[in-house]
């Protein structure tokens, strides 16, 4: 991991811009008492960046950094309160000497628990049970088991590995897919051959040029009519109209979607009304205390920055993710 040159800020105290929306990072001031904090929203970020050494992208759903970037005249380090960095992979930042770090490690277990939850919900037909209960209707059904079923998990980073461990623990056969083959990991080039085997296709990869539109009409045709798709990665991994068509035609059995190309999901999206779809509002990693964990990770990296020691979670800006995990990220 690189050590940033000149990591001391002005007068030995770093100046940090914090891009936020309605909420502020909880307890951030307690961890940054010797730093100058400049809080900004989308419309004030460009005026806030001049003279700043670091930027905390607390509002990680914002696209404001790209537009405001020309004002970042003294920037050395950008940290995002998210695992995905696709909104920050733009030429100005990528081509600069600025170090980019992310919040890898905070969301692994919560997202794996979400995936396990929707796998069981589909197998046990829980959405239909809730609908029938709401109508006061007693209708006995048989449900599915999960032991021995196959889950193909796309994403060879920590989140993908956490998902694979939990699904294997309840008896699923897991095929983990990463950027390149490794021990227990299939390479992304093997995905097409694995799709016909998938009872559950889980997308947990970062959004890069290579993974954008990964699940398109051709890939969907390789799935079984009984397959379910689960997307906790990024909306852009899926060609959404192709997925809607496959669901409407019952070419696949269902989908659980936590991320979308456009967020919030528009009110007129057909996905809202599909009985075989579970829609959640980009919350699969957000368990009680997650904001505190994000602040603690940033505070640890800030201490490293001040000490001139290597930062955690340095992103390879050319690839769009932190490298070094087993099998790489897809």
The per-residue pLDDT for range 164-220, each reduced to its tens digit, is: 999 999 999 999 999 999 999 999 999 999 999 999 999 999 999 999 999 999 999
What long-range pairs does 21-30 form, CB within 8 A, spacing at least 24? 21/58, 21/59, 21/61, 21/62, 23/58, 23/291, 24/58, 25/56, 25/58, 25/81, 25/291, 25/294, 25/295, 25/298, 26/291, 26/292, 26/295, 27/292, 27/295, 28/56, 28/295, 28/298, 28/299
**Residue range 247-268: mean pLDDT, rounded:** 98
pLDDT level of residue 3 (50, 70, 90 thresholds): very low
Give exposure, 256-287, as e/b (b: 16+ Cβ within 10 Å). bbbbbeeeebeeebebeeeebbbeeebebbbe
- pLDDT at position 90, please? 97
pLDDT tens, position by position, 229-255: 999 999 999 999 999 999 999 999 999
For residue 329, pLDDT beyond 90:
no
Q: What average pLDDT does the structure give for the chain?
A: 95
- pLDDT at position 4, please? 52
Q: Is 263 a catalytic residue?
A: yes
- pLDDT at position 144, please? 98
- pLDDT at position 5, please? 44
- pLDDT at position 301, please? 97
For residue 11, pLDDT beyond 50:
no
Percentage, residues of the chain above pLDDT 90: 93
Structural contact between residues 222 and 242, judged by C-beta atoms closer than 8 angstroms = no
Structural contact between residues 172 and 145, judged by C-beta atoms closer than 8 angstroms = no
Residue showing tokens 């991994």: 237
From the candidates 20, 234, 291, 312, give the one annotated as an active-site residue.
234
pLDDT tens, position by position, 64-81: 999 999 999 999 999 999
For residue 7, pLDDT beyond 50:
no
- pLDDT at position 265, please? 98
Sheet holding 36-40, edge to edge: 36-40, 15-19, 54-57, 77-80, 99-101
Q: Residue 181 and residue 244: Cα distance in Å, rounded? A: 31
Q: Residue 251 and residue 245: Cα distance in Å, rounded? A: 8
From the candidates 282, 296, 306, 319, give the one annotated as an active-site residue.
282
In sequence order, what E strands does 179-292 have? 186-187, 200-203, 228-231, 254-257, 277-279
DSSP letter at 96 equals S
Percentage, residues of the chain above pLDDT 70: 94
- pLDDT at position 330, please? 60
Q: What are the residues whose beta carbons fall under 8 Å from the beta carbon of 51, sequence distance 6 or more?
A: 10, 15, 73, 74
For residue 60, pLDDT beyond 80:
yes
More confident residue, 7 or 246: 246
- Tokens in use for 14? 């770093």
Residue showing tokens 């000490």: 307
- pLDDT at position 176, please? 98
Least confident of 22-36, 139-153, 225-239: 22-36
């Amino acid at each position: 991991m690189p050590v940033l040159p000149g990591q001391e800020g002005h007068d030995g105290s770093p100046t940090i811009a914090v891009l936020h929306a309605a909420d502020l990072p909880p307890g951030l001031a307690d961890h940054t008492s010797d730093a100058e904090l400049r809080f900004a929203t989308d419309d004030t970020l460009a005026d806030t960046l001049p003279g700043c050494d670091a930027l905390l992208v607390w509002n990680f759903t914002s696209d404001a950094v790209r537009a405001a970037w020309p004002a970042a005249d003294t920037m050395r380090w950008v940290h995002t309160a998210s695992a995905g960095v696709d909104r920050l992979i733009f030429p100005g930042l990528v081509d600069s000497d600025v170090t980019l770090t992310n919040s890898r490690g905070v969301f692994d277990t919560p997202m794996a628990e979400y995936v396990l939850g929707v796998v069981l919900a589909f197998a046990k037909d829980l959405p239909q049970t809730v609908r029938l209960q709401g109508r006061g209707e007693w209708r006995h059904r048989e449900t599915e088991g999960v032991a021995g079923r196959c889950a193909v998990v796309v994403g060879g980073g920590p989140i993908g590995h956490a998902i694979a461990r939990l699904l294997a623990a309840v008896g699923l056969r897991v095929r983990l897919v990463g950027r390149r083959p490794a021990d227990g990991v299939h390479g992304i080039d093997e995905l097409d051959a694995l799709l016909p085997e998938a009872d559950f296709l889980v997308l947990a990869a970062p959004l890069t040029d290579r993974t954008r539109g990964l699940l398109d009409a051709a890939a969907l045709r390789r799935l079984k009519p009984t397959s379910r798709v689960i997307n906790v990665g990024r909306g852009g991994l899926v060609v959404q109209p192709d997925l809607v068509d496959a669901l409407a035609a019952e070419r696949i059995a269902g989908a659980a979607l936590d991320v979308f190309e456009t967020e919030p999901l528009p009110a007129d999206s057909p996905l809202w009304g599909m009985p075989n779809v579970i829609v959640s509002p980009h919350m699969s990693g957000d368990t009680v205390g997650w904001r505190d964990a994000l602040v603690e990770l940033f505070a640890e990296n800030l201490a490293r920055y001040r000490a001139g020691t290597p930062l955690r979670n340095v992103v390879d800006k050319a690839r769009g993710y932190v490298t070094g995990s087993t099998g790489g990220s897809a």
